[in-house]
Amino acid sequence: MFGLNKKDTGLLIIVGILTLLAPFILNPFPADSAMAQFNAGYPDLMQRFVIFGIFAIGFNILFGLTGYLSFGHAAFLGVGSYSAVWMFKLLSYNVIPAIALSVVIAGLFSLLIGYVSLRRSGIYFSILTLAFAQMSFALAYSVLSNPKFNLTNGETGLQVYADDPQILQGANAPDLPHLFGLPMRATYTLDIGAWSFDFNAGYYLCAVVMMVVFYLAIRIFRSPFGMMLRAVKSNQQRMNYTGLNSKPYTLAAFVISGMYAGLAGGLMAAMDPLAGAERMQWTASGEVVLMTILGGTGTLIGPVLGAGFIKYFENIFSKINDNVLHSWFAILPDGLEDAVVFIIHPFIGKGWHLTLGILFMLVVIYLPGGLVEGGQRVSNWFKRRKSGADDAPSGKTEPAE
């Protein structure tokens, strides 16, 4: 189906079903229960899962397929966000032109940076991309916020104001990002017993976009172009000795990856019409590296899993505080309860980065293939158990012939 083999079609269908049913899957606990704080099915967080999944899918095309580790991909995320907000300011709140411009501008910007950075490889390439990203952050934070040509609005961030031109904004159009009149914040809440499920227009727009780019990523992985990128990762020097010029392939991979990042930035602005320089910091670039490695470098579904894992930790696990811990361990004697809370305290709340760092170390050491490898190991274990049970002797003996 869609030019994919059976395995890839199944994977695409599974991702589609999980995305469609996310409001149910991410809200397993009743709204009034003590465990409701672990629910992640509210619109803002679901949008982040999908948007950063797109960001990580694109980064994986460069890092997972080609083997080039970029520490500056947040620059394209920020450029995409600024481009989308400027489209809101100049034309209208319709998200389609804004998203399209964010992809185009990020593609051109990545072409420029990639042309320079790809003259080097290895750690030198990584440092060059980091330098370009920090230069972009400095430009957005200070230089381009000069009152004479204020393109970024500096520390405050770029946003839409009532006196902006918006030459295509109709009188009856919503004063928020919308898709041909459907506001991105439009949410339908379904109450079933003690459960509450939110179906948000912005989330489903992002979900549809993610399905499209996930499909494109599969086609890239399975194409001759993808095979050339794997050859670059395997042994670029040997490839060059055969007479093949690898630079056009690596540059194309860099630009495609940058366009994915720009698309993610445009979607972020489409959900909330604001762009700030913090989206271009090196920490944002490091975050997408963690997402890809945690999920599984070079795999199709891994970056999406890694993005969801980290965003869940950032938004849900970080909310656990001492009061929550005391409520959990209230059945223990007072002294023991305080001791347990004291031991766990550094790993929760504001210390969630410590827990994430430990998990990242464990994954790198014991699961080099990330969460995808972990899932494969569990699946293989169950298969061995099942085959072992099928092959086990029944205890009934047959007479020899």
Residue by residue, DSSP assigns 140-192 as: HHTGGG-GGG-SS-TTT-EE--TTS--TT--TTS-SS-EETTEETT-EEEEEE
- CB burial of 90-114 (b: ≥16 within 10 Å; e: otherwise) equals bbbbbbebbbebbbebbbebbeebb
Domains of the chain: 6-319 (1.10.3470)
Residue 242 has pLDDT above 60, yes or no: yes
Structure confidence at residue 401 as a pLDDT band (50, 70, 90): very low
Stated pTM of the model:
0.91
User: Would you state the pLDDT for residue 236?
Assistant: 83
Task: Say which range, 79-88, 121-130, 146-155, has the weakest mean pLDDT.
Answer: 146-155
Average the pLDDT over 125-153 and give the result.
88
Structure confidence at residue 332 as a pLDDT band (50, 70, 90): confident
Distance from C-alpha of 352 to C-alpha of 319, rounded to nearest angstrom = 9
Structure confidence at residue 392 as a pLDDT band (50, 70, 90): low
Question: How many residues are present in the chain?
Answer: 401
User: Alpha-carbon torsion 18, 19, 22, 24, what sign?
Assistant: negative
